Amino acid sequence: MSHRITLIPGDGIGPEVVEATRRAIEATGTDVTWDRRQMGAGAFSRTGRALPADTVASIRENRVALKGPIETPVTSGLGSVNVTLRQELDLFANVRPCRLYPGVPSLYDDVDLTVIRENTEDMYTGFEFEMGSVAVKELMRFVQDTTGRRVRQDSGISIKMISREGSARIVRFAFDEARRLGRSKVTAAHKANIMKFSDGLFLEVAREVAATYPDVSFEDRIIDALCMQLVQAPERFDVLVLPNLYGDIASELAAGLIGGVGVAPGAHVGGVDGRELAVFEATHGTAPDLAGTNTANPIGVMLSGAMLLRHVGEVDAGNRLEAAVAEVLADGAHVPRDLRTIDDDRPPAGTFQVADAVIARL
């Protein structure tokens, strides 16, 4: 079967790591037609738009995209191109599998967890009020009228918003993902003891949803305790589900357990049935310092490519790509610069050498 997939090289090291992944996907023998589109700073300088409408339309139509990291140009008028894309396409779930592969330097022996981050609510709704603005003054008045307490005059305000529906769908997604992956436990993280009406609602809904999945066990953790326990004993965790901001931090923490963002894959998934649109991408940024130097680690995006293949039904090809990546990592003959330890005297392998080594094992 032929697959039509939107391909967004992105900015900085994006074009290099996405090209490595595109070649690897093709080398699995999967029949793909790439629908190449632009987004980010490069798109802005070429077209005047950082998030061109045809790119968004292409993802809607093809339902699957492979995307590099994106820089948001300051003058583009968008707070963040990535956040805008996720909100426009309602990509409400960020899936970040964090598996430690043999050969990758880490403080740990056994890490294999999946972080599911809610992507559209919490502190990322964009309800931002600048210090000194008319709006912030009105908000302060409202807070004083309703609570009897004064907000410091020199404050800026960001609104945290968590809904029942948004919480229910991300927790359901996490349980469905746990079932699909054959995982046995979902852990929800929150700060419900302090933010009773936002995180408290998330926790209440998480418990309700958990009760409808009797085959998967459920527990909750206060976010600070979770961070400590993740560092102490990551093997205790299986699938984590978190509101947006905690999810952002915890997924980066988890990436640090398995070798860093250079090897951490990810997907943004959404749509009406929770499966309709999926953007597979780098979890790292554009790393402009490394752009064009053939030093970026392509493994994270290649593993996102393996996720993409499984998502479109090419399970065998996805598993083979992941296995080839794991072999290269275990073999140790092609070590990207960011995976070398301080006393490592092996020469670093460039982006394309790593990609070639993976492709040779397919």
Looking up tokens 């990322």 gives 124
Active site residue 248: yes
Identify which of residues 19 and 199 has a Cβ nearer to ligand ATP in the complex.
Answer: 19
Q: Could you give phi then psi for residue 81, rounded to 5 degrees? A: -65, -45
Contacts of 77 (CB under 8 A, 6+ apart): none
Contact stretch for ligand ATP (CB under 6 A) within 181-189, 234-242, 296-304, 326-334:
296-304
Q: Which of the following is catalytic: 54, 110, 196, 224?
A: 224
Beta bridge partners of 116: 95, 241
- Measured from the Cβ of residue 105, the count of other Cβ atoms closer than 10 Å reads 14
251 near ligand ATP, judged by CB under 6 A: no
Instruction: Tell me how far apart the terminal alpha carbons of the chain are, to the nearest angstrom.
Output: 19
Least distance between ligand ATP and beta carbon 109 (Å): 24
Q: Which residue is nearest to ligand ATP (CB)?
A: 285
Identify which of residues 210 and 321 has a Cβ nearer to ligand ATP in the complex.
Answer: 321
255 near ligand ATP, judged by CB under 6 A: no
**Out of 10, 52, 262, 305, the residue judged to bind ligand ATP by CB under 6 A:** 262
Contact status, residue 118 vs residue 165, Cβ threshold 8 Å:
no
Contact stretch for ligand ATP (CB under 6 A) within 73-81, 121-129, 196-204, 281-289:
281-289
Q: Could you give phi then psi for residue 311, rounded to 5 degrees? A: -60, -40
Contacts with ligand ATP in 191-210 (CB under 6 A)?
none
Q: Could you give phi then psi for residue 253, rounded to 5 degrees? A: -60, -45
Residue 296 is encoded by which pair of tokens?
A: 């970026």
Strands 64-67 and 2-8: parallel
Q: What is the spatial distance between Cα 259 and Cα 213, in angstroms, rounded to a whole number?
A: 33
Least distance between ligand ATP and beta carbon 154 (Å): 28
**Out of 206, 210, 241, 287, the residue judged to bind ligand ATP by CB under 6 A:** 287
Contact stretch for ligand ATP (CB under 6 A) within 47-55, 211-219, 240-248, 282-290:
282-290
The radius of gyration of the chain from alpha carbons, rounded to an integer in Å, stands at: 21
Q: Report the candidate in 276, 206, 213 with the shortest Cα–Cα distance to residue 241.
A: 206
69 near ligand ATP, judged by CB under 6 A: yes
Q: Could you give phi then psi for residue 97, rounded to 5 degrees? A: -70, 130
Least distance between ligand ATP and beta carbon 180 (Å): 27
Binding residues for ligand ATP, how many (CB under 6 A)?
A: 15
284 near ligand ATP, judged by CB under 6 A: yes
261 near ligand ATP, judged by CB under 6 A: yes
Question: DSSP secondary-structure letter at 336?
Answer: B
Least distance between ligand ATP and beta carbon 8 (Å): 15
Least distance between ligand ATP and beta carbon 313 (Å): 28
76 near ligand ATP, judged by CB under 6 A: no
Identify which of residues 52 and 300 has a Cβ nearer to ligand ATP in the complex.
Answer: 300
Contacts with ligand ATP in 1-30 (CB under 6 A)?
13, 17
Q: Could you give phi then psi for residue 244, rounded to 5 degrees? A: -50, -60
What's the burial of 153, exposed, middle or buried (CB within 10 Å: 0-12/13-18/19+)? exposed
Least distance between ligand ATP and beta carbon 110 (Å): 24
**Out of 109, 289, 343, 345, the residue judged to bind ligand ATP by CB under 6 A:** 289
Contact status, residue 13 vs residue 71, Cβ threshold 8 Å:
no
Active site residue 224: yes
Contacts of 50 (CB under 8 A, 6+ apart): 39, 40, 41, 43, 44, 70, 72, 73, 76, 78, 81
**Out of 338, 354, 355, 359, the residue judged to bind ligand ATP by CB under 6 A:** 338
Q: Write out the residues near ligand ATP by the rule CB under 6 A.
A: 13, 17, 69, 261-262, 284-287, 289-290, 296-297, 300, 338
By annotation, the residues acting in catalysis are: 124, 191, 224, 248
